[in-house]
Each structure stands twice: as C-alpha cells, then as structure tokens.
Structure 1
Amino acid sequence: MPARGAGLLVLAGTPIGDPADAPPRLAVELAHADVVAAEDTRRLRRLTQTLGVRPSGRVVSYHEVNESARTPQLVEALTAGDRVLLVTDAGMPSVSDPGYRLVAAAVERGIRVTAVPGPSAVLTALALSGLPVDRFCFEGFPPRKQGELLARLRENAAERRTLVYFESRHRLAATLAAMAEVFGAGRRAAVCRELTKTYEEVKRGGLGELAAWAADGEVRGEITIVVEGAPAPRPEDLGPEELAALVRTREEAGERRKEAIAAVAAETGVPKRVVFDAVVAAKKAAGPA
C-alpha cells in the first residue's frame, strides 16, 4: 500500500451482480482504508463476507439522504491525512450514485482522488446491446412525470450518439412507450436487465416492439435501456434554416465560423458553398444585431 501522508479519496467499483466480478484491488482497499463510506452498510457487510475481508478502518454510511451532511466530515478526514474509500451498492460511485459531491469537495481542497475500476452497468449494457458503441452518452434516470419525461426525450431525439438510460421496473413500460412516441417506434433499442446475474436478459428490437413487450407483463430486476442514436440527416432534407442552425450551434460551442461551416458540410454532405450561403441568408434575415 502507498505510504500514509496527504489524504487520498479512492472511488471503488463494486459488482453489479456477480460478486466474482469484484476487482482484486477492492479487497485490498477495504482492508487498508482508514474510512470506508458505503451507500448501504448492510450490503457492504455481505460483500466483505463474500470477499473474505474485514475492513480495519471506520465504516460510515454515505447515501442520498445524508450525502450533504456527511461530505464535510469525510473531507475533514481526508484533510487530516486519512485514506477514504467510497463504495456504492453496485458499479462506480458518482454514476447515478452518491459520490459527485465528495469528489467535487475533495478536488476543491486539493485532495488527490483515484479509482479502483470495476463493473459498470452502462458499459456492460452498451457492449451487449448490439448497437454502435463508438460514441455514446449516458442520460441516467429519465424524469418520472410524463410531461418532463417527454420534454427530456424531445431534447434527446436528434442526438446522433447511442443513448443509455437507467430505469426502474415499475416505470419501464411507460418510458419505452414515450420513447417510441418521441423517437419513433422503429428506432432500435435494447433492454438489459439483471446484468451478470442468474436471470440476465437482453431484449432487442424496435422501441414500439419493446414497449409492447414491457406492457404485456411485469419485467423484473435492475434495468438499463440502450437506444440507437438518431440517423444522420440526408442532404436533401436540410434547408437553409437547418444548415444555418447547425453552424450556429457549433459557433456557440466556440468554433470559428469558417471551421463550423466546413464541419457542417462534412457532416451533412452538403457543399460548403451551400452552407455558407445559408449562413449569410440567415444573417440578413436576422437584421442588424
């Protein structure tokens, strides 16, 4: 183990199903940490028993309810030189789990943060989905209220990258139905449940088909939804307003206009001169700034 000195925050990935997936370093960190902050101390106890390890340091709870109050206490321990290990129920801390506040507070105080890489439901589902994985974005849990859900999905509708969501079994049917409505019933997707567990299942198909499947009966377990990104726009479908909007989005992100025009032309297959003319026309239509 590294020598004691300045405090160190260690984020440790834990199994998402099969305990045998625990990285070897996890047992070492559990045995040597000064403080182990766990989302659920009872689950931690079961995990340590399975791994055959006993934490030598203090074990405290760190979950959604006490995260704000507990963070300053853990930062104080880190400042005093302690090695603090953060584990959540499954997967990596901070990824739809407690951890972000503590990491941000540690970074602000100049405390070193490292990680014990481990299983991830996001990456596992992506790999099993059969959908493109070269570019993707993680959207976490979608909103529960129908209006907010539809609004979020409309924001995602034009996203070209593969989309990954977490969802509860109780909300799955409604969420898939909303996705079919907004993204289109034919958009390819995969529903991954109970990953790495005994009853692991990956159901693939169009969103309409998957929505009907989920509505037919209760789907149990922890669920990750992977959705194909929006298809690339065809040049013939893009008018001057759409082309100008694409350039404007890139400019707002910091690109120079010339570079933005070239990038939009390459992305859409529309000649650069046509994109340039669309930008000029939009500027004239907008009038003086």
Structure 2
Amino acid sequence: MISWERKALNFINQTSRWDKEKHISSFLAFSISLVKNLVEADIALQLEFEDENTAKVKNASPVFLNDIVLNPDPVRKLLYKHAFKSIYWPVIPPEPENVFPELLRALSSAVIIPVNTEPHNSVIILGWSEPQEFSQPFQECTETIRLRLKEILTQSQQQLYFQGIAMRFAAVLHTLPHAVIFINNDGFSGWVNQQAADLLQLSGPGEQLPAILSDAMTQLRNKTTNTEEIYNTAIHLFSSPDKSITGWEWQMAAPAAKTYRVSCLPVTSQQVNGRLWIFEE
C-alpha cells in the first residue's frame, strides 16, 4: 500500500537538503523531477506565464517538452474556473477543456497544480500514460507538495534576483578608480574590488574574511611615512559619535611614494552593519 504521507515528507526532506547543499539555479528542476519520481508520473513540467501573451514550458521531464510555447489565456480561464486549486483529471477531457493538447498527447490522466508567485505565475503539470484514481491521500500529498513548490519557486526567484543585483553592483564597483573595501562587523564577511585587492596585495577581488582584510590594512599602514599620525587619527575616528572620516591622508613610503586620501564610513541597515573604506590616489 502506497504511503502518500511518507512521499510528501520525503519531498520536503529532500528539497530541504538541496536548499542547504546545492546551487539555487538547479533547485526547481531537481524539485520537479523529484515530484515526477515520487508520484511515478510519465511527464512533469513547469509552465511559466512569462507575459500576457506567452506561457513557456521549463524544467520538463522528458526534456524534449522544454521551450514549447502556449497561449496563456485558455490556461488562465481554466485556473479561474477551478478557483486556482489543483485540478485532477483521472481521464483527460477533450478540447476545449483540455487546454494542454500539445503537452498531454497520448496520456490518460493528469494533475495541474497552480503555484501562484509574483511576478510570474507558474503551473506544474504531471501526466500518466495509464489511468489514475487520485485518491484523497494522493490529493493531500500533492497539496503538501504544492505548498512546498510555492516556497521553492519564491525562493528561487528571490535568490536569482538578488544574485543579479549583486553581480551588477560588483561590476560597477570593480570599474571605480578607487580602492573600495567593506568589512562587516559580523566577523565573517568582507569584500574588495580589484583596485583594493591590488593595493592590499590580495589574491583577487570579491569576498574576503574580515581578519584577512584587517591584517592586510595593518600591513599597508605600516608602509606609510605618517604611521603614528594615522594611528592617532584612528583612535579619534573609532571614538567619535558618527565614526566617519574623509580626506584622511595615508602617505606611502618609497618605492610607491603615493599619497592616498582615505574615507571611512559606517554602513548600517537591517542586513548590514560594517565599515566602508575608500582609498583615492
């Protein structure tokens, strides 16, 4: 006897492990493939509403279904008709009720699972070549899976969105002519652009541990000709109310013989609490 409750828990457990261990970009594809295996479907896919005129198949198993494009209007009408609840077809109806003839060809049974997320809505479609009964325990299982899939879709979209923002800001910061160093107060995260990596003689730009950055900045300070002045200014900086400074001069000894105007600014938000250092020649 099939334990649908156990299958639902299996889905939650496996997707939770993937969430912690694997890359987010393949999270959704893995989750849909896992659903297909757990319910022993012959096809499984995501139909995403890309805009008002386009719904495209993604993360399909078998993969030849990927990139099929459908008119989203009939799909939306079907979802509205069923109040955006999962639709169970023990026997796939003929057109026009079956709005997926390109996807469900040669299949006997199907389940359509709406997953409402913004900015794009998605539908997960499962299909079987043999007739299915879709018992109440099965429906409870798919409802649990639907809720978890909604979490996965939302999480995937958010992380990919923030990854895109991070890449854009990193590209901007890497093109600045100044050395930019950020050290978070959490003791675990820091960041430098290419100019800062060169200045501090680090292996490369990007994420760096605060301890490594602090040590590199200490070594840089020790190469200055006004080390004592810098040290005394630093004491006043960290004891001042606003804990910020601009126009602070670090005069480098030979062979560099450069003078940097240094700014140190606090960076505080709900997610970030640290210091931004800017070295300008």
| TM score, norm. by length of structure 1 | 0.28
| TM score, norm. by length of structure 2 | 0.29
If asked which structure has higher relative contact order (CA below 8 Å, sep 6+), I would say 1
